[in-house]
Amino acid sequence: MEKVIITNNPLIKEKFASTYEVELYHKDYLGVLETVRDKIHLGHELLSHPLAGSIKPNETPYRTILISKNKKQLDMKSLTIIESAIETTKKFIANRPTPDWKDIALFDFQTVDLSLIENVLSNLI
């Protein structure tokens, strides 16, 4: 199955642009989830969980999600998962907004996000 990587993490674009279709968005964590939701409404399917990893949505500004490249009918399972992830993220952010991290911490979060998607990709191959 062909894949598209949706991300707000510039490390992902650097690492995978030559081997995968990567869409880099200048949005926050929630914005990435909402972008993926919109793509699911267009017929794309989730290939990775939007809340993967142990870092809470309000702790990191970065999120990378894998979706199908080809469009089909609306996949209700994908839609349910992404809508639930959006609601969970909103709850976390309402309780405690994402901190304004220093550059070194941002790079660490980018690296963790990269590691998560590398693991997903290696398991899908």
Q: List, for residues 84-122, the tens digit of each pLDDT value.
A: 999 999 999 999 999 999 999 999 999 999 999 999 999
Q: What is the pLDDT of residues 12-56, one digit of tens each?
A: 999 999 999 999 999 999 999 999 999 999 999 999 999 999 999
Q: How many domains does the chain have?
A: 1
Global pTM reads 0.95
Domain that holds residue 41: 3-124
Average pLDDT over residues 5-11: 99
Instruction: Tell me what pLDDT residue 59 has.
Output: 96
**Beta-strand (E) ranges in the chain?**
3-7, 21-24, 64-68
Beta strand 3-7 with 64-68: parallel, antiparallel or unpaired? antiparallel
